[in-house]
Chains A and B, each alone.
Chain A
Amino acid sequence: MNEDRALKNPLLEWRLYVGRISFAAAVVLILAGVIVWRYFNLQVTRHEDFATQADNNRIQLRAVAPARGLISDRNGVLLADNRPGFTLSVVIERTGGVEQLLARIDALIGLQEAEIERFHKLAAHRRPHEAIPLRNSLSEQEQSVLAVNEHLLPGMEISARLVRHYPLSAAMAHVVGYTGRISEHELKKIEPGRYHGVHTIGKTGLEKHYEEALLGEVGYEYIETNAHGRVMRVLERTDPVPGKNLRLFLDIRLQEIAMAALGEEKGAVVALETETGGVLALASAPSFDPNLFVTGISHEEYNALIHSPDRPLFDRALRGQYPPGSTVKPVFGLAALDSGVINTDYWIYDPGFYQLKNDKRKYRDWKRGGHGSRIDLYQAIVQSCDTFFYDVGYKLGIDKLNHYGGLFGLGHTTGIDLPGEASGVMPSAEWKQGAMGVIWYPGDTVNASIGQGFVLATPLQLALLSARLATRGEVWSPRVVMPSDAVVADIHRQQISLSGAHWQTVDRAMRGVVHDQRGTASRAVTKLDYTMAGKTGTAQVVGIKQDERYDASKLGKLQLDHALFIAYAPAERPRIAVAVLVENGEHGSSTAAPVARKVIDAYLNLYPERKIEDIAARG
């Protein structure tokens, strides 16, 4: 060490150091140059790219779902509205362990296997800090339980959105329908741009038919988010346009009276307002709670509905096809008059059955022993004489029956503004050949002439048939929704042109059904303070063999005849036309007619002449 110190040459060391530090300084400058080059490259050369990327980072386009249009009855009673609902989701980055959080939530509100599975599936493909939905429909109670324990549940998020709600529940379920989560099948059909941020779509009823109008237009907003996906502010917003509101012709009071009148029975009531073509009531019983479907129905509940023998999900008014039975007699009576097969003086003797020439088979009248002598068209309708119509129908032939039945809507969909209506069947020779591959037999004509055999009609079709009788041939499609700016009216009225005298004849006979002491409905419908025209009907559920008697006591409830009744009132100037079906109700007179009467009573009460004109003026 001393030796070193002794030998040290300060000048040499100084030079050595200067050389080294100069070299180092040069390296420093070069490295500084590298830094400058790098930052210049990022900040000037590639500035645009990075500026865009930074904006993409923070700015997101988010769809704002429009509020779905409301649906109300003709007096403004809400049938479908939107209520705030709560979605539970989890931001995994903010939790202190997902499994732990899920376990805690499970302990509080109980999670299902499927929910957890779906959550993990979604979580596997998430963006960082994205909120993963865990449950879409929190009940108010669940929401409050979670809110109270929020401090124990880091990473949990509860967000509000609008959920469809049906305040009247079952009473309107078949008409209004319901919305539900957009299925994959529907996803292929919709225009995706219109459904950004919208998670539900009309599945049935008006919700489906008026989906376009109810949906509204999606709004958009540019939002600035931080790295955790939390919204910091809204930069720009295009407001959504709410869906159009629908106002119905339907009066919820009539609907509820109809549902109540059906009571425990399975059946349907359709009431049409003849002046407007509007549907006043469209009831199908039993029904269901449509609110179950909105946020996703559970398997158990769905199975219960699907497998119920009463088929509550089935809309009997639109889709139920029943033999119309005697309710078609007024139509075939008109057909016979119009085509000159008979006139009002024509009468028959009814021995209680009808036979074709060269055929032993007896076509029985419902009344064993027959209606006796001098049964003309009036009596045939009032007493619902089958034998008379067997005869008349056979004389007309199936082509004429088909033609006139078609004029009154049999075999055709009505064109109502609801999805899925059935067309029923008004048979013809070609139809039978096509559908069954069998030729038409004369006996088929005989059966068809009293609305049996192959003839099928929906309660809605029968109400429309009744309305066409009431209006003496006005042809229009029934409408559930009042025309407004949301809905363009497409009722063009046509006319079935028949002689006024014929209309009068049939009208008089139908009044007789209710008011003549021999009328089939005269004992069931009494003490009316207005004139009602109607026709009873009975539709066979099981075929009765030759020489066998229909004996209700031997048949189970499900094999009993269906009871039918069509009516319009007041007969002098009809304003309401009704059809009632009661499944296995046996006789149109005893079970179906009182239901129709309750609805008509209520309507005429609620809407005395003057008031209806007010509504027509407003509509």
Chain B
Amino acid sequence: MAEFDRQLKEHGGAIYGRQRRWFVPRIDYMLLFLLLLLMATGLFVLYSASGRQLGYVYRQAFYMGVGVVAMLAVAQIPTRMLDRWAFVLYFSGLALLVAVIFFGVGAKGAQRWLDLGVFRFQPSEILKVAVPLMLSSYLGKRLLPPRFKYVVGALLMMALPAVMVGLQPDLGTALLIFAAGTFVLFLSGLSARYLLGALAAGLAAVPVFWFYLLRDYQKSRILTLLNPESDKLGAGWNIIQSTTAIGAGGLTGKGWLSGTQSQLDFLPESHTDFVIAVLSEEFGLAGVLFLLLLYLAIVGWGIYISLRAQSMFGRLLAGSITLTFFVYVFVNMGMVSGILPVVGVPLPMVSYGGTAMVTLLLGFGMLMAVSTEERRIAQ
């Protein structure tokens, strides 16, 4: 009995987890620390990138606060619940996307927003979280690798929202949604044959996309990537100015608030999608490597979390969220430095923008939920 009491004291949390007297929040402190460090870095760069406007910094910090609270709230949800209610989130997201078509409001020729009176809201953001959640739930229950019909089912589940978002048109978000779904499929063990087949089909679809689906501005972005000098003052301006800013930074940069490209307005959208150029100019390669290592640490930690997950659902969810996060980083840093076409993908946690920030943190909330789910004693 004494032995039992001792065991009780030591493993009480595990044995009587659901009957604890005190609520102990489920927090992955490592993930939280890495994210807070990233956000602090982001605010620091944003102050410079916004042209020393504290207003931007305060607003961004506010959204970060909202996002962190949301993340911690989601982290408290048991993974079983996430699994069970995934379809609700997914289908409400789809419904809202349909609503955008009829009631949406637009900006810059794209219809993406729902005006809820109090604030504007972008349903496509929900899908960024809902698609990996739904697919993880759907495939997690299957015998893996998934059979053909489930692959088709999964593909439909991700393609439907991706195409709808892509037609808004919001190529960046569509790409992220599609990527998140693809990662779930890939991690679930989709056989290499399907993957190669999909790749071939994708390549075959390029001309179709080019001639029928891509809008002119999207085409011009791709053409600009191939030859920015062809349109120096138009579409090429962004890329020329951002690569110049990055290159001018050198090894250690010009110093905080001293980047001429960004402070003198040569750099477009310096506080949103192109913020990495500001960091590159002011902190040089050293700053870039620091940020990249921070991102890789988060990715690494996310992979670690996925490996510790108790269920396939948890693994797939954690893995796809983590890999999608890296897609943000790669696409953004790639497009600003001129090796990828300009699509509207923000630099996670650094680019100014509340919606994307909150969505990302919701994803990390799920990651945290997986990270802190109860371990089975026998493992």
Contacts and interface: CB of A to CB of B under 8 A. Distances in A.
Chain A bound to chain B: yes
Interface of A: 1, 3-5, 7-8, 10, 12-13, 16-18, 20-21, 24-25, 28-29, 31-32, 34-36, 38-40, 42-44, 46-47, 49-51, 53-55, 57-58, 128, 224-228, 232
Nearest to A7: B143
Nearest to A45: B247
Interface string B105-124: 00000000000000000000
A520 B337 CA distance: 96
A16 B326 contact: no
Given A16-B145, A35-B333, A53-B244, A47 B289 contact: no
Interface in B247-276: 247-251, 260-261, 264-266
Interface in B39-84: none
Contacts of B285: 39-40, 43-44
8 contacts: A17-B189, A20-B188, A35-B292, A38-B333, A38-B338, A43-B280, A54-B245, A226-B266
The residue in A39, A47, A227 that gathers the most chain B C-beta atoms within 10 A of its C-beta is A39
B247 A46 contact: yes
Interface in B281-340: 281, 284-285, 288-289, 292, 296, 299-300, 303, 306-307, 312, 315-316, 319, 323, 326, 330, 333-334, 337-339
A225 B264 contact: yes
A42 B281 CA distance: 11
Contacts of A31: 326, 330
Contacts of A29: 296
Nearest to A20: B187
Nearest to A224: B264
B246 interface: yes
B284 to A, nearest CB: 6
B90 interface: no
A47 B189 contact: no
Contact of B143 (A8, A17, A47): A8
A557 to B, nearest CB: 66
A387 to B, nearest CB: 85
Interface residues of B, number: 52
A168 to B, nearest CB: 47
A18 B306 CA distance: 9
Contacts of B296: 28-29, 32
B187 A54 contact: no
Contacts of B244: 50, 53-54, 57
Query: Is the contact region of chain B dominated by helix, strand, or loop, or is it mixed?
Result: helix
B246 A50 contact: yes
Contact of A226 (B183, B245, B265): B265
A20 B251 contact: no
Interface in B98-145: 141-145
Nearest to A22: B303
A50 B280 CA distance: 12
B152 interface: no
A28 B307 contact: no
Contact of B337 (A5, A16, A38): A38
A226 B249 CA distance: 18
Given A36-B288, A42-B246, A47-B251, 5 more contacts: A1-B141, A13-B144, A17-B316, A39-B333, A54-B261
A482 B338 CA distance: 67
Contacts of B87: none
B196 interface: no
Contact of B260 (A13, A35, A54): A54
A7 B307 CA distance: 21
A20 B246 contact: no
A227 B265 contact: yes
A4 B141 contact: yes
Contacts of B91: none
A50 B243 contact: yes
A51 B307 contact: no
A58 B319 contact: no
B278 to A, nearest CB: 13
**Listed residue (A4, A35, A46, A47) with the most chain B CB atoms within 10 angstroms of its CB:** A35
A224 B258 CA distance: 13
Nearest to A12: B144
B200 interface: no
Contact of A58 (B260, B280, B284, B330): B260
A43 B189 contact: no
Nearest to B237: A128
Given A24-B319, A47-B248, A18 B289 contact: no
Contacts of B1: none
Interface string B207-251: 000000000000000000000000001000100010111111111
Contact of A20 (B143, B186, B334): B186
A228 B265 CA distance: 8
Interface of B: 141-145, 183, 186-189, 233, 237, 241, 243-251, 260-261, 264-266, 280-281, 284-285, 288-289, 292, 296, 299-300, 303, 306-307, 312, 315-316, 319, 323, 326, 330, 333-334, 337-339
Given A17-B319, A38-B337, A43-B288, A51 B248 contact: yes
A50 B251 CA distance: 13
Contacts of A36: 288-289, 292
Contacts of A35: 292, 330, 333-334, 337
Nearest to B246: A42
B334 A21 contact: no
A600 B189 CA distance: 116
Contacts of A40: 285
Contact of A43 (B187, B246, B312, B319): B246
A32 B330 CA distance: 7
A4 to B, nearest CB: 4
A38 B334 contact: yes
A16 B186 CA distance: 10
Contact of B261 (A16, A20, A57): A57
Contacts of A24: 183, 186-187, 303, 319, 323
Nearest to A127: B233
Nearest to A232: B264
A226 B251 contact: no
B186 A28 contact: no
A47 B247 contact: yes
A5 B249 contact: no
B203 to A, nearest CB: 19
A25 B303 contact: yes
A51 B306 CA distance: 43
A49 B248 CA distance: 8
B247 A42 contact: yes
Contacts of A43: 246-247, 249-251, 280, 284-285, 288
Most chain B CB neighbours (cut-off 10 Å) among A50, A58, A128, A224: A50
A58 B254 CA distance: 15
B151 to A, nearest CB: 14
A226 B285 CA distance: 24
B266 A39 contact: no
Given A8-B143, A21-B303, A54-B260, A128 B280 contact: no
A8 B141 CA distance: 9
B142 A4 contact: yes
A4 B312 CA distance: 13
A395 B287 CA distance: 104
A558 to B, nearest CB: 63
Contacts of A47: 247-251
Contacts of B280: 39, 42-43
Nearest to B276: A39
A468 B211 CA distance: 93
A58 B186 contact: no
A17 B337 contact: no
A1 B147 CA distance: 12
Given A24-B323, A35-B334, A40-B285, A5 B141 contact: yes
Contacts of A34: 334, 339
Contacts of B241: 57, 227
Contacts of A32: 292, 296, 330
Contacts of A28: 296, 299, 323, 326
